[in-house]
């Protein structure tokens, strides 16, 4: 596949369809001329699309090319152009024999366009999966300790993911396991052991819906921590306003319990879930700075195996108290296979492409589904403070994820003219 990419302040293309003139236009973004060759396939198309979507060719506030198409909320004008394969090495007439079959090339072009449209589907899928995860946590923690729950979740997720990789002919680690043990261990501790144990322990005293809402503060903690860790992705004043609003929402959620029970009871469970959210934020930034671009299968499997190994010694002392009821075991296995094995593939993909603030923004989708399932299946109550707190937190997260467009540059006028095709 061959692509000519032009950064543009605006772009347009005109054509006729059934005798009627058609025009497509974009604002700031990329103008792409795309041609498919005879050896191209869906894998190549997806890799090329992801590369372009994540390509840092837009200037940040300091004038450095540090932002991608998604970072600036840009648009893409994609034009099919088979003449990119023209061979002019001989004669006076270009040869197009190296271009792909027209019908197949059209399919690949449509697939390429779809990759641009589909960015964000992974986040919605994660929100639906992880919304159910809080329900499964609530069911599983009744019959086993948090550490046993985390071990079964990690182990079952690792087995499911390894099976998927084996059936698809993927190499498990490609000889890179030894050099990646420390990153896998760090991700296991910050993205699995600490948050999963904290959530399981917290849900012993709070509802699954409240746990999911508190977990939705993860992007707020990312926005706070990222100021020192990843300066290039430093949030704006508007983002930090969202952080303060989100924290206010958390206060609204826990304040009634503080007034009623003091610093005990449900408050401790709520604080445990907040600690889990902070741990998720730390892991998101570590992944972005140290593991970006790694194969998503390897990241997911490596973390799950490391998590199972680390938490197993902690789970052994609590094994005699485990009650193996079929409902709780089914819930924990669903957590492992769906909420870990499959969901983490989507999570690391969005982390690699969208960055930590936007990828952890999946948590604002989770409360809606988690509260719904908790009310419908577990008969959990839905109080006014819960509703108000959730609305305030979600509004804060929206502001936290907003990004200013970069200021116009002197060459913008020239780009605008060059982009018209």
CA–CA gap between residue 313 and residue 108 (Å, rounded): 50
Active-site position among 83, 114, 260, 289: 83
Based on the residue annotation, tell me whether 205 is a catalytic residue of this protein: no
CB 70, CB 53: distance < 8 Å: yes
Based on the residue annotation, tell me whether 114 is a catalytic residue of this protein: no
Based on the residue annotation, tell me whether 81 is a catalytic residue of this protein: yes
**Which candidate, 141, 148, 155, places its Cα nearest to that of 308?**
155
Active-site position among 81, 350, 360, 386: 81
Active-site position among 6, 25, 70, 82: 82
Among all residues, which ones are annotated catalytic?
81-83
């Amino acid at each position: 596949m061959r692509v000519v990419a032009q950064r543009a302040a605006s772009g347009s293309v005109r054509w006729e369809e059934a005798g009627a003139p058609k025009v497509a236009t974009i604002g700031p973004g990329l103008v792409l001329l795309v041609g498919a060759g005879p050896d191209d396939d869906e894998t190549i198309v997806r890799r090329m699309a992801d590369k372009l979507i994540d390509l840092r060719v837009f200037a940040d506030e300091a004038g450095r090319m540090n932002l991608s198409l998604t970072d600036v909320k840009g648009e893409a004008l994609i034009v099919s152009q088979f003449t990119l394969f023209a061979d002019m090495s001989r004669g006076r007439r270009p040869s197009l024999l190296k271009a792909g079959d027209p019908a197949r090339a059209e399919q690949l072009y449509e697939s390429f366009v779809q990759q641009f449209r589909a960015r964000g589907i992974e986040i919605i899928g994660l929100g639906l999966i992880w919304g159910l995860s809080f329900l499964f946590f609530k069911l599983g923690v009744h019959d086993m300790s948090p550490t046993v729950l985390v071990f079964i979740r990690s182990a079952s997720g690792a087995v499911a993911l390894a099976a998927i990789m084996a059936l698809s002919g993927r190499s498990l680690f490609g000889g890179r396991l030894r050099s990646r043990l420390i990153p896998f261990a760090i991700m296991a501790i910050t993205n699995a052991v600490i948050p999963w144990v904290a959530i399981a322990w917290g849900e012993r005293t709070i509802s699954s819906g409240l746990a999911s809402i508190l977990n939705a503060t993860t992007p707020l903690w990312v926005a706070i921590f990222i100021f020192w860790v990843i300066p290039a992705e430093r949030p704006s004043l508007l983002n930090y306003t969202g952080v303060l609003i989100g924290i206010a929402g958390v206060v609204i959620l826990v304040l009634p319990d503080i007034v009623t029970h003091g610093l005990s009871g449900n408050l401790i469970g709520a604080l445990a879930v907040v600690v889990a959210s902070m741990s998720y934020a730390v892991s998101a930034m570590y992944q972005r700075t140290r593991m970006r671009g790694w194969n998503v299968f390897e990241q997911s499997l490596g973390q799950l195996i490391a998590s199972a190994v680390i938490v197993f010694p902690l789970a052994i002392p609590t094994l005699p108290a485990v009650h193996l009821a079929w409902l709780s075991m089914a819930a924990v296995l669903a957590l492992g296979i769906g909420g870990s094995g499959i969901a983490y593939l989507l999570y690391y993909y969005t982390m690699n492409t969208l960055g930590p603030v936007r990828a952890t923004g999946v948590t604002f989708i989770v409360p809606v589904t988690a509260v719904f399932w908790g009310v419908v299946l577990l008969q959990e109550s839905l109080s006014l403070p819960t509703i108000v707190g959730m609305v305030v937190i979600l509004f804060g997260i929206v502001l936290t994820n907003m990004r200013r467009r970069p200021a116009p540059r002197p060459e913008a006028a020239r780009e605008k003219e060059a982009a018209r095709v």
